[in-house]
Amino acid sequence: MLTSQNLRGIIPALPTLVNADDSLARGDMAKLVDHVYAGGATGVLPIGGTGEYGALPHATRVDAVSVCAAQSQPGQTVMVGVLDTGIYDALKAGKDYAAAGANCLLVLTPYYTNPTQRGIRDYFLRYADESPVPVLIYEIPYRTRVAIAPEITHELSRHPNIIGMKACNTDMYHFLQVAAGVDADFTILSGEDSLFPLHMAAGAKGGIIVTASMLPAFWVRMHDLVAAGDLAGALALHRQALPMMNAAFGETNPGPMKSVLDLFGISAQKILMPLDPCQPERSARLRAEVEKLLAL
């Protein structure tokens, strides 16, 4: 059983690679998983937001999980996003992903209904009670329009089946308040490429990083600098990645990133509706910045 102590290092948020008919490009998906593990990633996160969750049929999501699990070794994290809007669909999805090989579930804050803080708390408590594998909280208020109050996260962190969270709240004071009160047996992972070294310095044990799908070794190097106490070195390295991040996130993720995956021998680069393919100028800029970082 995965524990909070296993949640360390860099876990890339993977795009879902599909063929022309939108079926899973299983071979390319396996290549991508191999690529990030070769770069030192400690796990993978398929079918989250970067994986275009809402654009995929459920069967394709399950298929993606099974490919990622098959390419992973014991001790590696296979964390799967659960982005459904309702408790019943979310529980059913999570159980199917666990059966396909997921060893933990990243469960999104309930959204659209504008829940109260008590409603958010009760949702996660019920989910954790019924989930067959450990649960992480996924807070990303700039997507859901719902933030979790720090004291609610503190309470949830004490549930034995809630082992961590992906922190995507870009308010650093909010992050500091969360980190100050969570249970000792609870792991915070940064979910923001743009804030990763600061999040680690403030208490995160690693990160779920989008652009680590392209540059796993670069992000592992940055992680290791912070873990060794060299925050200045990590920030200097992070500064070199700012132009890459500006290009990667200048259009809705994962369009730009998918457009340059051929750099890593991956041919399945189709973006799913309703997202548009990346603009050629932005793709060219991202390609140039990724090549610079690969050369470091």
Residues 224-261: b if buried by 16+ CB within 10 A, e if exposed: ebbeeeeeebbeebbeebeebbebbbbbebbbbbbbbb
pLDDT 10s digits, 96-122: 999 999 999 999 999 999 999 999 999
Residue 36 maps to a domain: yes
Residue 42 maps to a domain: yes
How many domains are there within the chain?
1
Catalytic residues: 138, 166
Q: Which domain holds residue 36?
A: 4-230
Looking up residue 191, the CATH number of its domain turns out to be 3.20.20.70
Rounded to the nearest angstrom, the gap between the alpha carbon of residue 218 and the centroid of all alpha carbons in its chain is 17
Residue 273 maps to a domain: no
pLDDT 10s digits, 38-57: 999 999 999 999 999 999 99
What pLDDT, on the 0 to 100 scale, is given for residue 54? 95
Residue 269 maps to a domain: no
This prediction's pTM: 0.98
Tokens of residue 290, six digits:
């990724």
Tokens of residue 152, six digits:
């609610």
Residue 283 maps to a domain: no
Residue 255 maps to a domain: no
Q: What is the mean pLDDT of the segment spanning 198-202?
A: 98
φ, ψ of residue 166 in degrees (nearest 5): -100, 115
